DNA sequence: CCCATAGATCGACAAATGTCAATGAATGGG
DNA sequence: CCCATTCATTGACATTTGTCGATCTATGGG
């Protein structure tokens, strides 16, 4: 895997206009709400936090399973939601799946809340 | 259902430690997730946007009812969720209820996503 | 007083969500 | 080969959520 060039076609940087930038379109609202909904769950916030705090910014499911005290399928379920929302990446190496935060995704989300 | 789920407001400036600032406590995650969950809905995002874009930064239910094409009870329901989350204030003047964005609430939320 | 208006609350309902146990799929070691 | 490990998927379940119609509670005007 050639050290990730992955220019992230547009995942993080372009999302929606900021909330306070005038009335929102229904489409923008739906797209943006999907991302906020993804982080609108305690378990998923802790997952992001755990991944970010882990060595090299990535962690496998086995690293996340124990501190959350949830079943492995449940953790995988939440990780999938975060990946689908464009907030996490998944990389498989050997038997393990490594999750990492999509670069710039959270700041981009934060920008939509700024004035 | 009498769940209310009040987020227990303090200044709106202090909420939780940022996501990327090390592993999150379960309590912080729950409190922060409640706020993100509040804005994790298209209708509520549009409500915030409409209120922010309205004259003097405040709007009554009658202003919000029509552009959303939802019933009045539904709009009131969403407004209550935003108030309980500490994102909107409600002020009653005469027959009307005026909603406004809590100053600094959104930037404070944004900060928890920044690096 | 009576009534119209604005908005909150209630009761009900379908749909979505979070969780788990069980199972399936891929990988690597003996 | 077989088997253990890691993780994803499936099916099931209770809970929560978004929505509406109906009703209740002010408030203000005649």
Residue B26 resides in a domain: no
The pLDDT tens digits of the residues spanning A19-37 come to: 777 778 899 999 999 999 9
User: How far does the CA of A33 sit from the C1' of C1, in Å?
Assistant: 49
Residue B21 resides in a domain: no
How high is the pLDDT of residue A3?
34
Residue B4 resides in a domain: no
Residue B48 resides in a domain: yes
Residue B88 resides in a domain: yes
The pLDDT tens digits of the residues spanning A71-93 come to: 999 999 999 999 999 999 999 99
Q: What is the token pair recorded at A111? A: 């920008």
Q: How many domains is chain B partitioned into structurally? A: 1
A contacts of B40 (beta carbons < 8 Å): 33-40
- φ and ψ at residue A99, rounded to 5 degrees: -110, 140
Helix boundaries (H) for chain A: 26-38, 42-53, 61-68, 72-84, 105-111
CATH number of the domain within which B65 lies: 1.10.10.10
The pLDDT tens digits of the residues spanning B75-98 come to: 999 999 999 999 999 999 999 999
Residue B38 resides in a domain: yes
Q: Which residues of chain B have pLDDT under 70?
A: 1-17, 115
Q: Which domain, by its residues, includes A69?
A: 34-102
Look at A45 and B67 and tell me if their CB atoms are within 8 Å.
no
How high is the pLDDT of residue B21?
72
Q: What is the token pair recorded at B94? A: 């005469």
Question: Global pTM?
Answer: 0.87
Is the Cα torsion angle B5, B8, B9, B14 positive or negative in sign? negative
CA distance A73 to A53: 22
CA distance B16 to A14: 26
Q: Regarding beta strands A96-101 and A58-60, do their DSSP bridges make them parallel or antiparallel, or are they unpaired?
A: antiparallel
Look at A37 and B38 and tell me if their CB atoms are within 8 Å.
no
């Amino acid at each position: 895997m050639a050290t990730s060039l992955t220019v992230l076609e547009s995942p993080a940087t372009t999302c929606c206009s900021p909330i306070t930038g005038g009335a929102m379109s229904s489409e923008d609202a739906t797209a943006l709400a999907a991302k906020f909904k993804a982080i609108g769950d305690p378990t998923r916030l802790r997952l992001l936090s755990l991944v970010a705090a882990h060595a090299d910014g990535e962690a496998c499911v086995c690293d996340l399973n124990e501190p959350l005290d949830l079943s492995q399928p449940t953790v995988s379920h939440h990780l999938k939601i975060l990946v689908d929302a464009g907030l996490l990446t998944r990389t498989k190496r050997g038997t393990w799946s490594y999750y990492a935060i999509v670069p710039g995704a959270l700041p981009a989300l934060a920008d939509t809340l700024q004035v």
